[in-house]
Amino acid sequence: MITVIDYGMGNLRSVEKAFEKLGHEAIVSRVPGAILAAGGVVLPGVGAFRQAVHNLHAFSLVSVIRECIGLGKPFLGICLGMQLLFEESEEFETTPGLGIIPGRVVKFSGPAFGSETNPSGLKIPHMGWNRLHKVQQAPLLEGVPEGAMMYFVHSYYAVPRDPSWIATTTDHGVEFCSSICRDNLSAMQCHPEKSGSVGLRILKNFADSVPSWN
């Protein structure tokens, strides 16, 4: 069983349906017991970092997430769900995250991006299809070709303090970390549930890592 964490933000049903399409049982829940009983856990998310952190605390889910990861359950963060795993985000004002991955979340900035002096620059948010460039082999990326196209929607990106966390990078004015993998913990800035056959392959890789007895 895979549990998709419901903390009031994100594309919960599309993630649930993607797993169901792959033949894996999935539920959406914010009940701590249901999350802790799951064989695998997914933290999705779309929206503002600060509100997401507030909701996770309000629903008493922060300690549950940390416990799931500490127990070695396969855990996947998606989009905002990836960013929340880091120590802090500079979105609006600096906001503490869950502190599971050392590093911070920063906004796209620099001369490559659109401004009054550079109106033809790259747009923020980074929205649409872009490529994954593999930095290391990871079980989540098995069968995913170098340069695979994935769907992104975000204005901020995570910067791990330790580069060995980085599984893929993507270029959008800067080369940013687009996924991380270490032990049972994986996360992606892109949306595999919206990324066609390649995204489904990634979700299948994750689901296949969930113990069959759950």
Q: Which residues are catalytic?
A: 79, 191, 193
Closest CA to 176 of 109, 93, 111: 109
In degrees and rounded to multiples of 5, residue 30 shows phi and psi of -120, 10
Q: What is the DSSP string of 8-49?
A: S-S-HHHHHHHHHHTT--EEEE--HHHHHH-SEEEE---S-H
Contact 194, 81 (CB under 8 A): no
Q: Are 207 and 144 in contact (CB under 8 A)?
A: no
Name the 3-class secondary structure at 105: strand
**Bond before 125 cis per omega within 30 degrees:** yes
